[in-house]
Amino acid sequence: MTDDAWVWGAGTATGVGSLPGTDIREAVKVVLGELPDLPHLPELPNRGPGADLIGRTAGLLIELPVELYAGRWRVAAHPGRDLLRTHDLRERDLDALTELGEGLTGPLKVQAAGPWTMAASVELPIGGRLLRDHGAARDVCESLTEGLAVHVAEVSRRLPGAQVVLQLDEPWLPAVLAGTVPTESGWQTLRAVPEAAVRDSLRSLVDTVGVPVVVHSCAADVPVRLLREAGVRGVGLDLSLLTDLDPLGEALDAGMGLLAGAAPSVAGRAPTSAQVADKVRALWHRLGFPAAQAAHQVVVTPTCGLAGASMTYARDVLRACRDAGRRLAEA
Percent of the chain at pLDDT > 70 equals 98
Which runs of consecutive H residues, i.e. helices, occur in 52-161? 53-58, 81-100, 115-119, 134-158
251-280 tens-digit pLDDT: 999 999 999 999 999 877 899 999 999 999
In this predicted structure, the answer to whether residue 180 has a pLDDT above a threshold of 70 is yes
pLDDT at 268: 78
Instruction: Name the pLDDT band for 184 (thresholds 50, 70, 90).
Output: confident
Q: Model-level pTM greater than 0.85?
A: yes
Domain ranges of the chain: 1-24+233-331, 48-219
pLDDT at 5: 67
2-52 tens-digit pLDDT: 345 688 999 999 999 999 999 999 999 999 999 999 999 999 999 999 999
53-73 tens-digit pLDDT: 999 999 999 999 999 998 899
CB 200 within 8 A of CB 155: no
In the three-class reduction of DSSP (H, G, I as helix; E, B as strand; rest coil), residue 55 is classed as helix
269-321 tens-digit pLDDT: 899 999 999 999 999 999 999 999 999 999 999 999 999 999 999 999 999 99
Cα 314 to Cα 15, 46, 107, 122, 302, distances in angstroms:
10, 14, 21, 29, 9
pLDDT at 267: 75
CB 155 within 8 A of CB 148: no
